[in-house]
Structure 1
Amino acid sequence: LCLYIKQFYNQTMLLRTGMGVDEQTLTVMYSVTVSIFAIGGLLGSLMVGVLVTKFGRKGTLVKSTSLVFVGGALMGFSRLCGSPEMLIIGRFITGIHSGISLSVVPMYLGEIAPKNVRGFLCLMPSIFICIGVFCAQILGLHELLGKEEHWPLFFSLVVVPTFVQLMLLPWFPESPRYLLIEKRNVHATISALKWFRKRGNIQSEVEEMQEEQRLLSSVHTVTVTELLRDRSVRWQVLSVMVINAGMQLSGIDAIWFYTNDIFENAGIAHPQIQYTTVGTGAIEVIAGLIGCFTIEKLGRRPLMVGGFSFMGICCAGITISLILQAHVPFMHYVGVACVVGIIAGFCIGPAGVPFLMTGELFTQSHRPAAFIVGGSLNWLSNFTVGFVFPFLQMSAGAFCYLVFFSVCVAVAAYVYFIIPETKNKTFVEITQMFSSKETAMEFHALGSSDPITKKNGYGSLEDRDVKVEK
């Protein structure tokens, strides 16, 4: 499709100005088309806090579906109208919807899920993303919609799953935590919990929400500025920034956006590249399912550390294979294996766990602002990689993947040494774990065994003696 879009741009400029454009200009135009989606995602993520506070979690998801229908129509009719601008604007609008959804969906799922299956349920969106990518790769085959005359239809198919969501989601209840903690509607909360928990006692969940509500009784829903200034959550904020930025700067977008170019450079025959790409999509789905079904057993940290570490090793492997492939024939296959390894490592953990952890590390008052921070960095990093990578690849060649290697190793080390395991923990318990970390660091900074004031949760304080075991 990349070739067809560049041809469309060149033909349009030829009709408008009487002359075509050079290859470098086409590369810039295509890079803008690819990366403008991330700019839309960035804008959408910045809107999340206002939207979820005003419309709720489910309400935001339902109302934002209109963006997809507008964007899909613009992309679908862009070739007929001879307008590259329609294609670019359409991708921008669908990017806004994706920015909203990628923050609100894990927020909604994390708030409706029992703590013992919260990880499994919150990784399900990453599974469906992998399935969506796999379906797109199949439909993009030359035998199906991968022909020049069909690419507008291919882009407009985004409206199909959105239509299904619009038909089903309005029948689901709103988030019980949102109803109780923010709207203070006990009756609606109980009704929602009964709908989600057809069996079992919901009393303990209501009591846990009420405990969180009591801790937040004097704290309003904070803004991004207030979140960044709140010293009691600085480690949570830093962790969210590291894992969300690292998720995109790991190089996965370079692999996804330019898989065909990477396989071509690896020596795979051009007619076979599309089938190799479909194979990687199948591996994405399998790897995602592995992560989804093991997260409640292994925990969040092992999937993150293992996933980023494996991606880093494979990035180094791509560099070695590209350097040696002219002298060692089998290095072509090593390069392909490393590409597949990066995708598998990403889908096992880094693809979904950052969104899960963004929701888990904060209580209700700070969660929307946290998703704005994490989502903004995620999409900004996405744009940076999508726009810069083709030029980085031209200037640095095989060594460009060493940048991604460094990022993967750094994020894996941060998760291993800093972020605690949150499996089977309530939001209040997770808050207290980070509060203890903050207290310990304040104690080391003071270098004293005198009693210190410990922040307990968000905003409430308690005095306690800190004892050091020798």
Structure 2
Amino acid sequence: WKITALSSSRVLGLASLNFLFTISHRFSTGFRSGELAGQLSTVIPWSYIKDFYNQTVVSRNGTGLSAETLTLMYSLTVSVFAIGGLLGSLIVGVLVSRFGRKGTVVNTTVLVFLAGSLMGFSRMCGSPEMVIIGRFITGIHSGISLSVVPMYLGEIAPKNLRGFLGLVPSIFIGTGVFTAQILGLHELLGKEEYWPLFLSVVVVPTFIQLMLLPWFPESPRYLLIEKNNVHATITALKWYRAKCDIQAEIEEMQEEQRSLSSVETLSVWKLLLDDSVRWQVLSVVVINIGMQLSGIDAIWFYTNDIFENAGIPAPEIQYTTAGTGVIEIIAGLVGCFTIEKLGRRHLMVGGFTMMGVCSSGITLALILQTQISFMRYISVCCVVGIIAGFCIGPAGVPFLITAELFKQSHRPAAYIIGGSLNWLSNFTVGFVFPFLQMSAGSYCYLVFAAVCFAVAVYVYVVIPETKNKTFMEISRMFSRKEAVLEIQGLIHDQLKLQKMNGYGGLEHTSLEFDSSSSVP
């Protein structure tokens, strides 16, 4: 076990460190894997970018922009990231089939260098367009990476550490958020003249990745099941597993390969039409939409106002906000080191439930804070609770479990579906929340609470525990669930038919099921 853990940790530390840190940087600048502009204003004040846009237009045309036009341009700068993320998630299937998991991560680093250069030199060139295009390209890379990296980590990890390795990204994400928030302080890169440099810092960890990742093997499952390259698979497994016995793992991969009607990657349309995986697809849809509609986006959008209402002086809010990064790190550590003991379901159910309770608490606190002074501190505690609940489970488990619920041929299409819905939900929340807040006021958080509770119930009832199980074992669990539901449906139909014929009692019912129809 120790050897396996050391080997897998070595892979994780290098293969995903840059990705996680890169995504974290984007999180801290306002697009936290699809979150709103609220955090952008805590690191780079809106006024900096708006002033740059206005001054550039003045130098070109001699007249400035109206407040409405400036707001529109800034909103475009924010939302174009999600559009890029959606596009990136849609092309994942083609990329991973052609270049492999590791190959896709390596080859797409060029997007980060291009985006970083555009944003870094935008002020020097006097071009707001370079900022917007840079954000769009950054979004494309994020959309690709947020699907490929969990897929890669899930396939190289041994089954007893797959959950641990799948959630370690949460620790690096939290660390990245905290680091970016520190760099964004006014004493460091938070001054107006430094914001282009801050946006381009993303190229530094990407360069480290580009130097290190090519030395790592490709996913063994990809090499064997899709490329049928046994020699390369053995070499990769020996590298990842050190001195562990790899024969059983190879046999499990070969069993999965034989079970597939085709080793070709399924299209999204074929996956949606495949009745054998309808519960897996529905589960991916629910947890990915639920992750974005859980209210975490809204919390980042409103964090500064909540802290200000709690009596924190305006100049000190940036330090308080940076403290939320520490909460993310701690919550990520809790989730990472408990997932193999508690399981995926408990972390998701607990995380969503915690977020639902705290979202309800924020509504209550905001309503009563004018009458009861200490309620403003309750709202701060609820903010912390929502962030912690999100990072413990809902932030990372959906990406992990998407890999676990599907076989090799179905997995890329599943990530396309999950990633697309994730980004669409993100864009929807970013667009709708300001209007929801204006119309519903403090009650808007009850919508997110309802979503959180609903997702928690769905996960508890439908999704089985997948810890320490092979991909084939997980597939069989869903097959048994499907068979049970089919038998129950047949029983219900026959009972209904008997009742329609006047035989409502069970004693008059003749059900033609023999012992072979039973499901273990």
TM-score bucket of the superposed structures, by smaller chain:
over 0.9
Contact map agreement 1:36 1:383 (CA 8 A) in 2: no
Distance 2:198 2:270 in 1: 43
Contact map agreement 1:109 1:121 (CA 8 A) in 2: yes
Q: For residues 69-100 of structure 1, what are the alpha-carbon distances to aligned partners after superposition, in whole Å with 9 as ceiling and x for unaligned?
A: 01111111122222222111111101111111
Q: For residues 44-82 of structure 1, what are the alpha-carbon distances to aligned partners after superposition, in whole Å with 9 as ceiling and x for unaligned?
A: 111110000000000000000000001111111122222
Structure 1 unmatched ranges of 5 or more: 453-463
User: Residue 50 of structure 1 aligns with which residue?
Assistant: 94
Matched, 1:280 2:324: yes
Specify the code of the residue in structure 2 equivalent to 1:372.
I
Matched, 1:81 2:125: yes
In the TM superposition, what is the alpha-carbon distance from 1:23 to its structure 2 partner? 4.1
In the TM superposition, what is the alpha-carbon distance from 1:267 to its structure 2 partner? 4.2
TM alignment of 1:59-208, pairs within 5 A: 59-208=103-252
Structure 2 residue aligned with 1:361, among 395, 398, 405?
A: 405
Matched, 1:296 2:340: yes
State the secondary structure of the residue aligned to 2:312: coil
Specify the code of the residue in structure 2 equivalent to 1:245.
I
Distance 1:53 1:68 in 2: 21
Contact map agreement 1:266 1:322 (CA 8 A) in 2: no
In the TM superposition, what is the alpha-carbon distance from 1:329 to its structure 2 partner? 1.8
Structure 2 residue aligned with 1:331, among 361, 375, 390?
A: 375
Provide the TM-score with structure 1 as the length reference: 0.94
Distance 2:62 2:124 in 1: 19
Specify the code of the residue in structure 1 equivalent to 2:315.
P
Cα distance change, pair 318–15 in 1 and its aligned pair in 2 (3 A): farther
Provide the TM-score with structure 2 as the length reference: 0.85
Structure 1 residue aligned with 2:388, among 344, 349, 374?
A: 344
User: Residue 456 of structure 2 aligns with which residue?
Assistant: 412
User: Residue 11 of structure 1 aligns with which residue?
Assistant: 55
Moved more, 302-311 or 440-449: 440-449
Matched, 1:467 2:510: no
Structure 2 unmatched ranges of 5 or more: 1-43, 495-510
Contact map agreement 1:255 1:262 (CA 8 A) in 2: no
Q: For residues 428-459 of structure 1, what are the alpha-carbon distances to aligned partners after superposition, in whole Å with 9 as ceiling and x for unaligned?
A: 0100111111111111111165459xxxxxxx
Structure 1 residue aligned with 2:420, among 373, 376, 387?
A: 376
Contact map agreement 1:78 1:87 (CA 8 A) in 2: yes
TM alignment of 1:243-254, pairs within 5 A: 243-254=287-298
Structure 1 residue aligned with 2:437, among 393, 396, 404?
A: 393
State the secondary structure of the residue aligned to 1:184: coil
Contact map agreement 2:93 2:413 (CA 8 A) in 1: yes
In the TM superposition, what is the alpha-carbon distance from 1:126 to its structure 2 partner? 2.2
Contact map agreement 2:170 2:329 (CA 8 A) in 1: no
Moved more, 86-95 or 264-273: 264-273
Moved more, 217-226 or 378-387: 217-226
Structure 1 residue aligned with 2:283, among 239, 247, 259?
A: 239
In the TM superposition, what is the alpha-carbon distance from 1:220 to its structure 2 partner? 3.0
Distance 2:408 2:200 in 1: 36
Distance 1:382 1:219 in 2: 33
Aligned residues: 458
Aligned residues: percent identity? 75
In the TM superposition, what is the alpha-carbon distance from 1:19 to its structure 2 partner? 4.2
In the TM superposition, what is the alpha-carbon distance from 1:24 to its structure 2 partner? 4.3
Specify the code of the residue in structure 1 equivalent to 2:450.
S
Distance 1:309 1:180 in 2: 40
State the secondary structure of the residue aligned to 1:465: helix
Contact map agreement 1:58 1:108 (CA 8 A) in 2: yes
User: Residue 457 of structure 1 aligns with which residue?
Assistant: none
Distance 1:191 1:466 in 2: 44
Specify the code of the residue in structure 1 equivalent to 2:107.
K
Contact map agreement 1:321 1:335 (CA 8 A) in 2: yes
Contact map agreement 2:257 2:263 (CA 8 A) in 1: no
User: Residue 471 of structure 2 aligns with which residue?
Assistant: 427
State the secondary structure of the residue aligned to 1:221: coil
Distance 2:284 2:87 in 1: 18
Specify the code of the residue in structure 1 equivalent to 2:104.
T
Contact map agreement 2:348 2:394 (CA 8 A) in 1: yes
CA RMSD of aligned residues (A): 1.8
Cα distance change, pair 451–45 in 1 and its aligned pair in 2 (3 A): farther
Cα distance change, pair 265–69 in 1 and its aligned pair in 2 (3 A): farther
Distance 2:154 2:519 in 1: 36
Contact map agreement 1:35 1:382 (CA 8 A) in 2: no
User: Residue 313 of structure 1 aligns with which residue?
Assistant: 357
Specify the code of the residue in structure 1 equivalent to 2:438.
M
Q: For residues 400-442 of structure 1, what are the alpha-carbon distances to aligned partners after superposition, in whole Å with 9 as ceiling and x for unaligned?
A: 2122111111111110111111011110010011111111111
